Structure 1
Amino acid sequence: MTSKFREDFDVEKSAPRDRFTKLLFDLRMPEELAEWPPLHVNKRKCNNARNRTLCCLLIIVLLFLIGNVIFLNVRILSINTVTPFSTSLSANAQQCLSQYTLNAPSSPSSYPCSTCLPTLQTVPSSYLSSNPQNAQQILNAIQFCGLRAIFDTANSQGQASLGWVNDVKFCAWNGVTCDGSGRVANLQLTFPGVPATLPNELGALTGLESLQVIGGDSIPAGALPSSFTNLTILSNLHIEATAITQLPDNLFSSLTSITTLTLIRNPTMGSSLPSSLTQLPLQNLVINSQSLTNPLPTLSSSPALQTSLKLLDLSSTSLTGPIPNTISSISSLTQLLLSNNNLQPPFPTTFQSSLQILNLQNNTALTGTIPNSLCNSTLLTSCELGSTGLSGGCGLCQLS
């Protein structure tokens, strides 16, 4: 191709662009600027520079898109690998949730707790944290089933009279109190509204802080359910007039929050206390009207109890043997109630200065002299020593 022909070709090729450029200038620029003569530039150099720029931009865009695709694939793989089911329920759990939400309010007794309770208890915490509304309904269904199991194994007439299972609003049921998040916090079961045995589903009430069971002497019976150790924030346990058998020795290794333990008239519970009891930060220990092998030496030697125990009431428990001198090691003790037992000498030579109430009545075999720590106490407000063999009455501690 000759030089002349190439120049003519270039001029002809660029003519439409020159006309388009002039049109843009005529539209956008002031009239006087539109009259300016066009600049003479090398079109080939401009085209080459523009093409290189476009190529660079295209490469950058492609790299950006490829990077995004790789990042998204890695993120999806990570989510599927680390937290499966974090945003969805299993089919069974979804069905249980739907049935509780839609059907249980009108027919609470027909809700399939036997299958839905274990299903809902295994819903991952990642789902619960990302779905708060459903999480609350799942929590409600779990607690409803835990309480309904008590109803199902109880005297139905006595329990029905308390208004249980007429609806799913369990926080309004008689003897049930919930905390601010809607969890069952306090549960009081009183005869005749008590179950024949404490069901394993009771362990589903993991928010329980206080449990009081006052039975009908022969019921509830049997052992505590294995799930009882799930009640890890339980602080007050009261069991009275039941046929519950001996407490497991390691029970309080799990129930480490217990501060008040009350056991009254439970004749089948045995005469020894769980060894794990001495690990508790107990403030109040009340055991009445059931036989005990004297636990005073063990209790008063426990480092945990020496700093926490305030009330020790072992009245009417057939205690034999002496009150150990280590009783004075319980530095926070304010009430010591050991009446109606078979305590024997020697009598302690000192009592803790924090003591406010002492009752040793009806321990006829107990002999010895009342120590000065009791006679001179400024905090003691009651001292009952009648019907004992003690001598040397003084101050509040009179023997008549």
Structure 2
Amino acid sequence: MTTPNEPSTSTATPKSRFKEHLSIFIPPLNFPVETSRFSPESPPEPARTLSTWTNSTTVMRSPISTSKDRDIEAQRSTSPRSVSTSSTKLKDRFTRLWFDVRTMGRDKEPELVPIQPAELPPWSPLHVEKRSTGACCVDCPCRKNKNKKRKRSLRDRILIYVLIIVILYLLGDSIFLNVRVTNMAAAPSPSLAPSNATASTSTVLSADAQQCLSQYNVNAPSDPSGYPCSSCLPVLQGVPTNFSDGNVQDAQQIQNAIQFCGLRSIFETSDSDGQSSLKSGNWVNDVKFCAWSGVSCDGSGRVSSLTLTFPAVPALIPNEVGALTGLQSLHVIGNSAIPAGALPNNFTSLASLGTIHLESTAITALPDIFGSFNKLATLELIKNSKMGNTLPNSLTGLSLQNLVVNGQALNNPLSDLTTSSTLQSSMKVLDLSSTSLSGIVPTTISSFTSLVELHLDDNNLAGPLPPTFPSTLASFSMSNNTGLGGSNTASFCSLPKLQNCDMQNTGLTASGGCGVCTF
């Protein structure tokens, strides 16, 4: 304990793993201190080590210390203080002694030695083989790669140059063709019918024909509607017929161009609905016209059959349709309003026609142009209200096999037809139903030696009937002719080949039966 007169001291007892009680004594402020520890007069400072067990400093005095050295702890103990200070001093000494004994056998902490750089052996000298400059240029891989790259670059440049030349050539050729065809369109059209001398001797195309052919081969496949048919069609039609003798391929292309223009004229003369319907059938989408809807071709690539059904019909039959010189069958079915107008003058060029079927059109009176249709076998005119009531006289000179006129008025053509010797031997089917016929059936009907079907229904015919009918008849009908009467039916009831016979709604009666006939 401390007296009131003594300066106050504090003792700290930190926690320790040892059971001994440790204390630290702080000297008073007036404790004498040496002025210099490093002066020659001063003794060396005692070595102090910090104990890791007691957290206190251990003083290790030099053995050379003299009796003059001060012992701070001893001086304090000999000072006139309380007896407790001596006990504390003794306890501290014991603690230090015990600590030194316990830590005497332990190794000191190793000093930290800086890491020394590893010693590496010196590099061996580089041995570079010296080569001559010429050998390196030949065998060095990098030189070979450079040569390959140089060759590849040169080849690429050559290809680019060739491509540019081809493009410039095609562009120049296209411009030249367009200018040439434009000049042709501005110039007067040549005659459609070349002289016989020219046709028989010329086997070389004219410049205009060559340009039209080139346009068709180059531009028409990608732009069918842009081909100048108006100027090229008459030029190509004027090519002599013997041109194909030595130029088969060009002759075929000329023929294709003519056929294409003839069909395209039908598309161009159609209204918007007609063009839309034709377009859906591939019309004018390309130049492969044989694949267009309603178009059929023969083995030589010429149009042989054409079927046009509303709404895919032209507003009128164009004049260019005469370019289809190989046409054998023509079927046109309108809506009673279109096609309208008259048949074109070039219709006579269709000399190969074997069948003509015109139904529900507004075509006006048929011109007397059938004299040139030597191959015409079937003529069918149905419900053409504006066609007139007469048939062309030239029909009587044809070897028609089938003549069908229904739903349009006629001025009693029977007398003219039955007196034609040509028709008498060729006619097989005669159908004049609903044509407002009147009068009697002429007796010359029995002269039709090849007639198989005779239909005269829905007319105004009157009796008496002819005494005989052709023995070749298989189908015979005269229904809805209320002017007929009597019982003179033996002329047809006993026909050997008759299979169908309709006499309903007439005044005729059968006496004793009439085979297959109905009344």
Alignment TM-score, normalising by the size of structure 1? 0.77
Give the secondary-structure state (helix, strand or coil) at the position aligned to 1:333. Answer: coil
Matched, 1:305 2:448: no
Match of 1:114 in 2: 230
CA distance in 1, matches of 2:462, 2:203: 67
The amino acid across from 2:204 in the alignment is S
Displacement of 1:163 after TM fit? 1.4
What's 2:482 paired with?
A: 364
Aligned-partner residue type, residue 271 of structure 1: N
Q: Which residue of 2 aligns with 1:335?
A: 453
Computed over aligned residues only, the root mean square deviation of the Cα atoms, in angstroms, reads 1.5
Question: Which amino acid in 1 is paired with 2:242?
Answer: S
Q: Work out whether residues 451 and 472 of structure 2, in 8 Å CA contact, stay in contact via their aligned partners in 1.
A: yes
- 1:57-206 aligned at under 5 Å gives the runs 86-154=202-270, 155-206=274-325
**Alpha-carbon distance in structure 1 between the residues aligned to 2:268 and 2:198:** 40
Shift of 1:89: 1.3
- 1:82 CA displacement: 7.3
**Is structure 2 residue 393 aligned with structure 1 residue 271?**
no
Moved more, 179-188 or 344-353: 344-353
Q: Which amino acid aligns with 2:312?
A: G
- Of structures 1 and 2, the one scoring higher in RCO (CA 8 A, sep 6+) is 1
The CA distance in 2 between the partners of 1:262 and 1:82, in whole Å, is 40
Match of 2:183 in 1: none
Aligned equivalent of 1:291: 409
Q: Which residue of 2 aligns with 1:37?
A: none
Q: Which amino acid aligns with 2:267?
A: F
The 3 A distance-change label for structure 1 pair 219 and 106 is same
**Which residue pairs with 1:344 in the alignment?**
462
Q: 2:377 aligns with which of 259, 263, 268?
A: 259
CA-CA distance at 1:385 after TM superposition: 0.2
Secondary structure of residue in 2 paired with 1:268: coil
Query: 2:405, 2:200 → 1: CA distance?
Result: 50
Q: Radius of gyration: which is bigger?
A: 2
| Structure 2 spans left out of the alignment, 5+ residues | 1-196
**1: CA distance, partners of 2:407 / 2:443:** 25
SS at the partner of 2:482?
A: strand
- Aligned mates of 1:269, 1:369 — CA distance in 2: 37
Matched, 1:230 2:346: no
Shift of residue 391, structure 1, vs aligned partner:
2.0
Alignment size in residue pairs: 319
TM-score (normalizing by structure 2): 0.60
Q: Give the conservation status (yes or no) of the 8 Å contact 2:498–2:516.
A: no
SS in 2 for 1:137: helix
Q: Hey, what's the Cα distance between the residues in 2 that align with 1:373 and 1:161?
A: 54
Native 8 Å contact 1:316 1:340 kept in 2: yes
Question: In 2, distance between residues paired with 1:329 and 1:145?
Answer: 45
Shift of 1:287: 0.5
242 and 112 in structure 1: CA distance in 2 versus 1, 3 angstrom threshold: same
CA contact (8 A) 2:493 2:517 kept: no
From the two aligned structures, give the one with the greater helix fraction.
1
Structure 1 residue 255, shift from structure 2 partner? 1.2
Q: What residue number does 2:337 align with?
A: 218
- Post-superposition offset of 1:91: 1.1
Aligned equivalents of 2:199 and 2:291: distance in 1? Answer: 37
Q: CA deviation digits over 1:111-167, x for unaligned, max 9?
A: 000000001000112323221100000000000000000000012112212210000
Checking the alignment, whether the CA contact within 8 Å between 1:240 and 1:264 is kept in structure 2 is: yes
Give the deviation of 1:366 after TM superposition: 1.2
1:321 partnered with 2:439:
yes
Cα deviation, residue 308, structure 1: 0.4
User: For the residues of structure 2 that align with 1:368 and 1:97, how far apart are their CA atoms?
Assistant: 70
The 3 A distance-change label for structure 1 pair 345 and 373 is: closer
CA distance in 1, matches of 2:233, 2:517: 60
Please state how far the C-alpha of 1:399 moved relative to its aligned partner. Answer: 4.7
2:501 aligns to what? 383
Q: Secondary structure at the match of 1:267?
A: coil
Change in 2 beyond 3 A, CA 1:320/1:83: closer
CA separation in 1, counterparts of 2:232 and 2:407? 41
Please give the alpha-carbon distance, in whole angstroms, between the structure 2 residues aligned to 1:289 and 1:179: 33
Question: How far 1:286 sits from its partner (Å)?
Answer: 0.5
How far the C-alpha of 1:396 sits from its partner, in A, is 2.9
